[in-house]
Amino acid sequence: MRRHVPNRRALRSLSRTFFAAAGLITLLIAPSLAESSPAQRGAAWDAKAAMQDISRQLTFGDRAFGTPGHEKTLRMVRAQFASLGIPTTLQTWTEQTPLGPRQLTNIIAHFNPSNPRRVLLGTHYDSITRAYADPTSPNAIMPGANNSASGVAMLLETARALKRSPPSVGVDFVFFDGEEGPISLGAGDPNWHALGSPHYVRALGPGAPGRPAQTIIFDMVCYRNIKLQPELSSISTTPDAVNAFWSLGRARFPSVFVSEPTGYAIGDDQSAFQAINVPSLLVIGFEYAPYFNTTADTIDKCSPDTLTAIGETVVSYLRSL
């Protein structure tokens, strides 16, 4: 992913608009949450299971596309959905990269596929090979507990929670390949752009079958000290969904969800959907210094409480649609 710094005057105006709208929606939503029981708020979201999903991915080692660890992650995701009785399909293609042609694969699972009202939940499952930002071991493997394993775990446990208590909308789970860009070696690619999500949206023209009403992309969502800010490009393209999602989160987990937007737009898998006018929001804890893309991105940086806060908010949000 990459940050894009916007015009400061536009940022101040957008922030004021967001604060005003978020305050109103919080007043409307928070009382109903306070009066509801845990069962009414949605099925239990099991952070212990999600932590186990993160831990298992870390045993695979390097998970950049084309590595054995990448293939093991793909098989793990498919096996988890198979255990829920949800089939997966693979979207495989050859991408021309500066390193030559590379085969990439998106993993897709449709929950309640006959429902025409659909929300896409997405994340990336590829990682980078090298911990290029590490001050002492830049050539070592980057574990990627937060930056990429946490998003995979978020979607897997959300699928299990929805299986126990389905929402009224259909849900498409998509695990994108190649989010780390065409040079996935951890070198800091100056020409970074996501690969899997743009490939996926090429088939989603206006009125196309399977076009979601909205998408939610998850990335870096387990950090124990996370402060989730509404992401700037998401606010500008889908403010109502951002307001609703963050209001639900802040009503129950105010230490995790904060109102102040990011000071910059973040390029991630949501960008491809925004480009074709599909409302899309990004849920990311981008401020992850000093661990981001270093050998210290390990499971001890992850918190079950953080995962619970985000996971239960996702389930509540889907059940509110």
On the question of pLDDT at 6 being above 50, the answer is: no
Among 51-65, 150-164, 204-218, 302-316, name the one with the lowest average pLDDT. Answer: 204-218
The alpha carbon dihedral of 60, 62, 68, 69 has a sign of: positive
As a whole number, mean pLDDT of residues 198-211 equals: 84
Non-local (6+) Cβ contacts of 259 within 8 A are 18, 19, 22, 230, 246, 250
Backbone angles phi, psi at 298, to 5 degrees: -120, 170
> Residue 209, SS3?
coil
Residue 258, burial from CB neighbour count under 10 angstroms (0-12, 13-18, 19+): middle
The region of weakest confidence among 48-57, 98-107, 218-227, 277-286 is 98-107
* Number of domains observed in the structure of the chain: 1
Q: Which residue has the higher pLDDT, 207 or 103?
A: 103
Buried b (16+ CB within 10 A) or exposed e, 31-42: eeeeeeeeeebb
The amino acid occupying position 161 is A
Q: What is the residue range of 149's domain?
A: 2-320
Q: CB-side exposure of 62: number of CA atoms within 13 Å?
A: 15
Amino acid at residue number 67: T
Mean pLDDT of the chain: 88
What CATH number is attached to the domain comprising 11? 3.40.630.10
Per-residue pLDDT, 3 = 59
What is the share, in percent, of the chain residues with pLDDT greater than 90?
77
Mean pLDDT calculated for residue range 110-128? 96
Minimal CA–CA distance to 128: which of 80, 203, 188? Answer: 188
Q: Which amino acid is it at 37?
A: S
Q: Has residue 240 got a pLDDT over 50?
A: yes
Residue 178 to residue 218: CA distance in whole angstroms: 15
Distances (CA, A) of 199 to 91, 217, 237, 295: 9, 16, 21, 30
Q: For the whole model, what pTM was predicted? A: 0.89
What is the Cα–Cα distance from 253 to 310, expressed in whole angstroms?
9
Closest CA to 229 of 278, 309, 156, 286: 286
Amino acid at 100: G
Q: What is the DSSP string of 265-303?
A: EEESTHHHHHHTT--EEEEE----TTTTTSTT--GGGB-
Between CA 23 and CA 17 the distance in angstroms is 10
Locate the DSSP E strands across the chain. Answer: 2-4, 88-97, 100-111, 118-124, 170-176, 214-219, 265-267, 280-284
Separation between Cα atoms, residue 31 and residue 33, nearest integer Å = 5
Looking at residue 33, what is its pLDDT?
Answer: 36
